[in-house]
Amino acid sequence: MNERLSLSQLNALDRVGFVSQIGWVYEHSPWVAEQAWEHRPFATIEDLHRAMERVVELAPPEKKLTLILAHPDLAGSLAQAGELTDASRHEQKGAGLNRLTPAQTEQMRHNNARYREKFGFPFIICARLNNSGTILDAFARRLENGRRQEIAVALEEISKIGRLRLEGAIS
């Protein structure tokens, strides 16, 4: 995460500067910001977010899957090793995932494994809009979905995450 800029400052940046400021918003996927840059200037954060959503929406299925796969497991091995991005660490901490009981940690590990085995990608939920209890409940519900439905849900959750990250990145 970089120093907060105003939207007008962000609009004025060249592509490299723009991506360096908000390329992190979509987890390990600066291509979203890079392609959204072409639609400047943005009048509002919502306009910028819609442009980024549109980039994802128009991406081929394999690129969407790569975006989903760029996300870490919740309270997973990267979190335990301290290797999350700053944004992910902050979001998971805010949801209380750093304060799980041993039983909850085991349940989360088990759910992550079941979910990855069934769908082939990590469970994604906007941690900032949830807590450990609602996340564990969502695992149970969403494990009942089909793969196509879960890809759609994951992309919706990524959009929510991106929107909140943009709000925090732009003054």
Amino acid at 53: E
The encoded tokens of residue 139 equal 């695992």
- Tell me how far CA of residue 91 lies from CA of 56, 72, 95, 132, in angstroms: 22, 12, 6, 12
The one catalytic residue in 39, 71, 90, 110 is 71
DSSP secondary structure letters along 62-93: HHHHHHHHTSPPTT-HHHHTT-S-HHHHHHHH
Q: Decide if 71 is catalytic.
A: yes
Where b means 16+ CB within 10 Å and e means fewer, 39-69 reads ebebeeeeebbbbbbebbeebeeeebbebbe
Nearest C-alpha neighbor of 159 from the set 38, 42, 36 = 36
Enzyme catalytic residues: 71
